[in-house]
Amino acid sequence: MSFHLTILGTGSANPVVTRNATSHFLMVEQEGYLFDCGEATQTQLLRFKLKATRIKYIFITHLHGDHFFGLIGLLSTLNMHHRVDDLYIYGPKGLAEVLTLQMKYSDTRLNFKVHFEETRSEESYLLMENDYVKVTTIPLVHRVPCCGFLIEEKEKPHKILKELLPSHISIEQIKCLKDGQDVLDDNGEVLYSCDYYTIKGPAPDSYAFCTDTAYHPAILPIIKGVKLLYHETTFLHELVERAKETCHSTAYQAGQIAKEAGAKNLLIGHFSSRYKDLTPFIDEAKQVFHNTILGEDGMSIDFRDLV
């Protein structure tokens, strides 16, 4: 199992033709996790040949339009395509009310069930988990309540060293070793040691989605050691005062967060429409944190390729 991410939009509030509003699509075990859903996200899914029907979980950070104005359109289209599978939406207070009103006055009746869960942005907590991943909230600092998300793969099973296994070992005992536990005999003594018969699986994948936010080092313990950190960079550092006023971050600050968190990789996006050439963003972030990726609409990242 590996995470596979596609960036659907790297723009911010003011539209530009080259950068769509924010949305990231993460595939894990054939299930889609959508992080934010700016206007025209469904068109971007089509453009980059991603199946919207795969989306099972949607996470909305906050109620600025560039992060959720595409949601009602996406839900309507899924309905038109006769979706029957349940959908899980996590978002701030007010989102369910907005969607309900939009559906009421557009006479949209969903054929599928939506499980809505309101997020709280004052503290970090475990939001959801399934067989493969768990998602924790990341409280952010913005002009409206805003909460980022950390999605982490559950521990990968240990790899069995088959050549060492005794011929009479049972399936249950092998399963026990794979789960990282020693096999004990009736007296509680170690019969087969996990350390001897297995090697630890690869490090679990993890992805932190942090937008929109002012520079906020309080998130560091939550995202410590994350494999890929997405951090917004609305401005270059020459506009650090503007970033502070509007509760956004600069490329330099995103680099600082990645460095101090011990992130393995940094992905940047949410660029202000005032910037045509984005080269200065990558240059600025790399001054602090070398493993920085400049986000682009349609870019796809297989976590197996990351350091």
Q: In the bound complex, what is the minimum distance in angstroms from residue 296's beta carbon to Zn ion?
A: 17
Cα separation, 95 vs 17, whole angstroms: 27
Binding site for Zn ion (CB under 5 A): 12, 64, 66, 212
The answer on whether 158 is annotated among ligand-binding residues is no
- DSSP letter for 145, please: -
Q: 195: closest CA among 177, 172, 171?
A: 177
Q: In the bound complex, what is the minimum distance in angstroms from residue 98's beta carbon to Zn ion?
A: 15
The answer on whether 24 is annotated among ligand-binding residues is no
Sequence-ordered list of residues with C-beta below 8 angstroms from that of 244, at least 6 positions apart, any chain: 214, 215
CB atoms under 10 Å from CB of 95, counted, come to: 20
Q: In the bound complex, what is the minimum distance in angstroms from residue 164's beta carbon to Zn ion?
A: 53
Total number of residues shown for the chain? 307
Q: In the bound complex, what is the minimum distance in angstroms from residue 201's beta carbon to Zn ion?
A: 37
The answer on whether 142 is annotated among ligand-binding residues is yes
Q: In the bound complex, what is the minimum distance in angstroms from residue 232's beta carbon to Zn ion?
A: 7
Q: Which is nearer to Zn ion, 14 or 106 (CB)?
A: 14
CB atoms under 10 Å from CB of 63, counted, come to: 17
The answer on whether 168 is annotated among ligand-binding residues is no
Residue 66 is among the residues annotated as catalytic for this protein: yes
The answer on whether 67 is annotated among ligand-binding residues is yes
List strand residue ranges (DSSP E) for the chain, in order.
4-9, 23-28, 31-35, 55-59, 87-91, 114-118, 126-129, 133-139, 147-153, 159-160, 183-184, 190-192, 198-199, 206-210, 228-232, 265-269, 292-294, 300-302
Cα separation, 51 vs 48, whole angstroms: 9
CB-based closest residue to Zn ion: 64
CB atoms under 10 Å from CB of 286, counted, come to: 15
Q: Which is nearer to Zn ion, 141 or 299 (CB)?
A: 141
Residue in 36, 66, 205, 297 annotated catalytic = 66
Q: Which is nearer to Zn ion, 12 or 42 (CB)?
A: 12
The answer on whether 270 is annotated among ligand-binding residues is yes
Q: Which is nearer to Zn ion, 66 or 297 (CB)?
A: 66
Cα separation, 70 vs 235, whole angstroms: 24
Q: Which is nearer to Zn ion, 65 or 225 (CB)?
A: 65
| Interior angle at CA 3, CA 5 and CA 153, nearest 5 | 135
Rg over CA atoms, the chain: 22
Residue numbering of the annotated binding site: 62, 64, 66-67, 142, 212, 270
Active-site residue set:
66
Residue numbering of the annotated binding site for Zn(2+): 62, 64, 66-67, 142, 212, 270
